[in-house]
Structure 1
């Protein structure tokens, strides 16, 4: 399958290929579609070097198509005094889901984290998203049953 698909790190020139996927991802989680907002948000992350986005693509040039992506945000562990990456987003478009692209994206995120000498990757998923949980666990992620997550949103 990797002969057909490959992983690329997103740069500003890739933005228009990524926006439909990012919008579909947000809608999947209950947000209203907002491609203009997605364009601004993603462009800011890239211009300010605030995230690393990896996408799975096939084809070349004008025929290149993005099928999925993962977005990593940098963070740090005070206890270990090391950088770590928050795997904030993982998405494969519904029309091609189930073909192993999620696993390829997770492997690429892992490879990137290792190459940047970090402690590891951390992620959160919805409790109802059993398919994603199976994928994460199959890739070696361990669910944390020791700590609770709290949020304060404004």
Structure 2
């Protein structure tokens, strides 16, 4: 139900399963001491023709409500950065909603910089 999307656990589960089976994304999971899932992030590989290197798109960062404010998101961002650096990536990019100021504060405190030079466009195909 993120960003106003209707809940569809079946489709979401199938999508994540397909990404894992096909190996076309990196799925990082944060677990509590008891093994319970606290949150996850998913990185999608891409390439930068300007940097002539791999890059990653951080497309999901979700923390369960009870674990928010405990550093789980920062730990996942750190794991994402470590993975991307290990893969020789030039950068990690992400998008967030204009009104998601809590996430913006986290990203900026982590070192992400808001793009002020380029506009992002999308062409819907559905």
TM-score, L = length of structure 1: 0.78
- Counterpart of 2:66 in structure 1 is 95
Aligned equivalents of 2:26 and 2:42: distance in 1?
Answer: 6
Aligned equivalents of 1:40 and 1:134: distance in 2?
Answer: 32
The RMSD of aligned alpha carbons is: 1.0
1:28 offset after TM fit, Å? 2.8
Divergent runs of 4+, >6 A: none
The answer to whether the aligner puts 1:49 opposite 2:20 as a matched pair is no
- Counterpart of 1:121 in structure 2 is 92
Q: Deviations over 1:50-92 (max 9, x none)?
A: 1001011024xxx521010000000101111110000111111
Aligned equivalents of 1:95 and 1:28: distance in 2?
Answer: 17
- Counterpart of 2:6 in structure 1 is 32
Q: How many residues align?
A: 125
Gaps of 5+ in 1: 1-26
TM-score, L = length of structure 2: 0.95
Gaps of 5+ in 2: none
